[in-house]
């Protein structure tokens, strides 16, 4: 009876080991950066962020030009202006400098938050595609090619292009293809 109990215990302990060895041992890598920069949804997100950044840069440049014009005005008229008027213009210049600095900080924060939100949204859409592909291909693990500490990966296990195609297919109805680059005049 004792040998029978020991045999059952050994069999019970051995079962998980056999189950573990039956799990898929294949791995793959994905270049997440490439997915973000070449997928249609990634390109659209990039264009939105670029437009936001360009808008903020244009506004900052306009503020800088106004500040430079005021500074030029002060320098050219400082001998002919009253002390009170000169002090007032210098205060305006200081206020414009502070406003520009605050605007720059706010714009940086806004752009960073918009980028983080866009990346989070893309990640939420890419993850199911990667999970599905991993199960379909019988993979045990998929590594982010350049952020996992991986120092070498054969091109044979790189599924980036497949993920991009599937991701484009999965998001085709919700993401218009990115607009072609406009010609510079």
**Separation between Cα atoms, residue 115 and residue 120, nearest integer Å:** 9
Identify the H or E element spanning 38: helix 32-38
Q: For residues 117-153, b (16+ Cβ closer than 10 Å) or e, as one string?
A: ebeeebeebbeebbeebbeeeebeebbebeeeeeeeb
Give the pLDDT score at 141: 85
Give pTM, 2 decimals: 0.68
Give the pLDDT score at 5: 36
Lowest mean pLDDT segment, chosen from 83-87, 89-93, 124-128, 170-174: 170-174
pLDDT tens digits, residue range 108-165? 999 999 999 999 999 899 889 988 988 888 888 888 887 877 766 777 888 989 999 9
Q: Which domains does the chain have, with CATH numbers?
A: 26-171 (3.30.910.20)
> How would you write 104-134 as a 3-class SS string?
HHHHHHHHHHHHHHHHHHHHHHHHHHHHHHH
Give the pLDDT score at 32: 87
């Amino acid at each position: 009876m004792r040998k029978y109990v020991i045999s059952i215990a050994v069999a019970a302990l051995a079962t998980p080991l056999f189950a573990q060895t039956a799990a898929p041992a294949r791995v793959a890598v994905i270049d997440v950066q490439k997915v973000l920069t070449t997928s249609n949804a990634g390109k659209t997100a990039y264009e939105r962020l670029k437009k936001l950044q360009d808008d903020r840069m244009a506004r900052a440049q306009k503020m800088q030009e106004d500040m430079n014009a005021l500074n030029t005005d002060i320098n050219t008229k400082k001998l002919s202006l009253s002390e009170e008027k000169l002090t007032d213009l210098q205060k305006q210049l200081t206020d414009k400098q502070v406003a520009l600095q605050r605007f720059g900080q706010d714009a940086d924060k806004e752009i960073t938050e918009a980028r983080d939100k866009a990346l989070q949204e893309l990640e939420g859409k890419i993850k199911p595609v990667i999970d599905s592909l991993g199960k379909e291909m019988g993979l045990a693990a998929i590594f982010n090619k350049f952020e996992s500490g991986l120092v070498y990966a054969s091109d044979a296990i790189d599924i980036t292009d497949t993920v991009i195609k599937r991701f484009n297919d999965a998001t085709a109805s919700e993401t218009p293809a990115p607009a072609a680059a406009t010609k510079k005049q």
